[in-house]
């Protein structure tokens, strides 16, 4: 008998007793053992603990617990989200030896809902990157072509779902780090509105833009995970007060107005990317939506704005890694100042250092007004432009990335790497929610690679985005394509 593969099917099978959580997790562990050597999505697979968690879920089912919406669903966790008792490195040497003393809110909620935590996934150091090549323990391979990147920074989580290791993985998205790897790996990735998922237990990179969100095969699974992990937590005063509520996934798209951003349908994009957007727009139209052209001029400023605000916040947040209270301390320093400097210099990799120096720069005397404060004003212009558009349309549709997955090592220039995120960063700048779903394939040399499209919604418009993504998937088959694993 073949086992269910989506989170919703697994939960139903475990709830009704047609499969045990233990059977599901054993199958996931076997698949990882067979195939992850070629992908290296996982930093750590904790098979024994996962089996014990699965047994506990089976015991809760046997005792009549019916409040387990994610019963037996294996979940992989990006290595910058805290799980009590587990190591967490953020892909950095500076957190060598660190063991989390508490769990993130999202993790607590997943476990309460019956999910089984299977292990940690690799990411770019402190979630800074678009390729998962900046991870101290090594890069991750794209399951569609192992000489290519999975995207980043949540590349390990995206690859783990794309490879069929787990139906759900958590990632974090500060400038596209869920949606971009989801697009490059051919899966569904959802970035919630700012504040939707409490950031308690998520290592802060740029808190005004950081959000935890799910990678899944289907939008229906993403919605199921969001029902569990969203909602206010007083430990994060910036988490949204109003609840997400039950998401009604049924129906078509009639009555919805969907805008296509002209500036994002660019000749600079890979032709298959524009074709995917056109195909998605046609499908939306067939499903009853009204498609309108929109213009978002300020989005061209997104990357410039992001690379002031993000590094500024990062330089401040990463100041806490100083070798004093936790993490790795450089040995043999003669005084405190030398210890700080050596611990940080030995601990941070090149991309983290670049952003810390850049952030320190734009916040320093003489540059604050010219750069940081100016970027915050441009942020408002971008936000205002979205607000104006969302008075006219319910959703925006466009490409997630300009091109499909690139080869490892192909982009070494930082600015070129940053520009990979040009269609995703503005959602973080303005606090919007967004979902990337696969909508076609691209041919690049000898490789056939997935292409994603992105649905963006207004702040706290998460339910509409997830419903539209689900309706699109109900009327198409792109999300069913899977890579052939060696």
Partner 1 sequence: MEYHPTPMADLSIDDVNRVAALAKLRLTPEEAQALLHDLQGILGHIDTLQDVDVEGIEPMASPLEHTNRLRPDTPQATLDKQAILDLAPETQGDFVSVPRVLEGHAE
Active site residues: 78, 153, 177
In the set 418, 435, 439, 483, which binds partner 1 (CB under 8 A)? 418
> Which of positions 240-279 make contact with partner 1 (CB under 8 A)?
240-241
Dihedral of alpha carbons 380, 395, 246, 81, sign: negative
In the set 366, 391, 445, 446, which binds partner 1 (CB under 8 A)? 366
Contact between 378 and 430 under an 8 Å Cβ cutoff? The reply is no
Q: Which CB sits closer to partner 1, 148 or 328? A: 328
415 binds partner 1 (CB under 8 A): yes
482 binds partner 1 (CB under 8 A): no
> Which of positions 207-226 make contact with partner 1 (CB under 8 A)?
208
Give the range of 149-157, 341-349, 397-405, 443-451 binding partner 1 by CB under 8 A.
341-349
In the set 335, 391, 445, 446, which binds partner 1 (CB under 8 A)? 335
Contact between 396 and 261 under an 8 Å Cβ cutoff? The reply is yes
456 binds partner 1 (CB under 8 A): no
Neighbours of 66 (CB within 10 A): 9
203 binds partner 1 (CB under 8 A): no
194 binds partner 1 (CB under 8 A): yes
391 binds partner 1 (CB under 8 A): no
129 binds partner 1 (CB under 8 A): no
238 binds partner 1 (CB under 8 A): yes
Q: How far apart, in whole angstroms, are the C-alpha atoms of residue 362 and residue 213?
A: 29
Q: How far is the CB of 449 from partner 1 (least distance, A)?
A: 27
In the set 126, 190, 200, 348, which binds partner 1 (CB under 8 A)? 348
Q: How far apart, in whole angstroms, are the C-alpha atoms of residue 64 and residue 302?
A: 51
434 binds partner 1 (CB under 8 A): no
Q: How far apart, in whole angstroms, are the C-alpha atoms of residue 89 and residue 100?
A: 10
Q: Which CB sits closer to partner 1, 51 or 342? A: 342
320: Cβ–Cβ under 8 A, 6 or more apart, which residues?
Answer: none
Contact between 104 and 136 under an 8 Å Cβ cutoff? The reply is no
367 binds partner 1 (CB under 8 A): yes
Q: How far is the CB of 324 from partner 1 (least distance, A)?
A: 6
Q: How far is the CB of 122 from partner 1 (least distance, A)?
A: 23
Give the range of 93-101, 105-113, 284-292, 439-447 binding partner 1 by CB under 8 A.
93-101
98 binds partner 1 (CB under 8 A): yes
377 binds partner 1 (CB under 8 A): yes
Q: Which CB sits closer to partner 1, 40 or 454? A: 454
In the set 74, 176, 327, 398, which binds partner 1 (CB under 8 A)? 327
Q: How far apart, in whole angstroms, are the C-alpha atoms of residue 109 and residue 103?
A: 10
In the set 52, 59, 357, 486, which binds partner 1 (CB under 8 A)? 357
303 binds partner 1 (CB under 8 A): yes
Q: How far is the CB of 53 from partner 1 (least distance, A)?
A: 22
Q: Which of 276, 305, 324 is CA-nearest to residue 441?
A: 276
295 binds partner 1 (CB under 8 A): no
């Amino acid at each position: 008998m073949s086992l269910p593969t989506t989170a919703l099917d697994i939960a139903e099978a475990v709830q009704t007793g047609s499969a045990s959580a233990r059977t599901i997790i054993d199958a996931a562990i076997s698949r990882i053992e067979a195939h992850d050597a070629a992908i290296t999505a996982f930093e750590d697979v904790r098979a024994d603990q996962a089996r014990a968690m699965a047994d506990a879920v089976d015991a809760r089912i046997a005792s009549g617990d019916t409040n387990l919406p994610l019963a037996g669903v294996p979940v992989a966790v990006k290595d910058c989200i805290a799980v009590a008792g587990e190591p967490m490195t953020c892909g950095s040497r500076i957190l060598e030896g660190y063991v989390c003393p508490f769990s993130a809110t999202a993790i607590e909620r997943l476990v309460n809902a019956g999910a089984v935590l299977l292990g940690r996934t690799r990411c770019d150091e402190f979630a800074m990157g678009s390729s998962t090549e900046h991870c101290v323990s090594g890069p991750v391979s794209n399951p569609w072509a192992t000489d290519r990147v999975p995207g980043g920074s949540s590349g390990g989580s995206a690859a783990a779902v794309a490879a069929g290791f787990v139906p759900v993985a958590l990632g974090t998205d500060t400038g596209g780090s869920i949606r971009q790897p989801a697009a490059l790996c051919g899966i569904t990735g959802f970035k919630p509105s700012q504040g939707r998922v409490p950031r308690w237990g998520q290592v802060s990179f740029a808190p005004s833009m950081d959000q935890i969100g799910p990678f899944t095969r289907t939008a229906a699974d993403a919605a199921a995970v969001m029902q569990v992990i969203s909602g206010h937590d007083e430990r994060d005063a910036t988490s949204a007060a109003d609840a997400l509520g039950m998401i009604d996934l049924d129906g078509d798209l009639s009555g919805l107005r969907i805008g296509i951003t002209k500036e994002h349908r660019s000749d600079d994009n890979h032709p298959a990317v524009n074709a995917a957007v056109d195909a998605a727009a046609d499908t939306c139209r067939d499903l009853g939506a009204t498609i309108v052209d929109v213009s978002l001029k300020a989005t061209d400023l997104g990357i410039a704005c992001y690379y002031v605000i993000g590094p500024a916040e990062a330089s401040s947040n990463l100041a806490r890694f100083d070798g004093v209270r936790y993490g790795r301390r450089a040995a043999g320093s003669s005084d405190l100042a030398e210890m700080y400097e050596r611990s940080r210099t030995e601990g941070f990799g090149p991309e983290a250092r670049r952003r810390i120096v850049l952030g320190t720069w734009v916040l320093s005397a003489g540059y604050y007004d010219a750069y940081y404060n100016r970027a915050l004003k441009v942020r408002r212009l971008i936000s205002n432009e979205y607000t104006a558009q969302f008075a006219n349309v319910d959703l925006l549709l466009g490409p997630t990335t300009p091109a499909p997955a690139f080869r490892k090592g192909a982009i070494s220039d930082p600015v070129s790497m940053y520009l990979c995120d040009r269609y995703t960063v503005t959602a973080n700048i303005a606090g919007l929610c967004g979902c990337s779903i696969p909508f076609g394939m691209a041919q690049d040399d000898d490789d056939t690679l997935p292409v994603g499209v992105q649905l963006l919604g207004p702040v706290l418009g998460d339910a509409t985005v997830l419903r539209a993504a689900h309706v699109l998937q109900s009327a198409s088959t792109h999300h069913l394509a899977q890579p052939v694993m060696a």
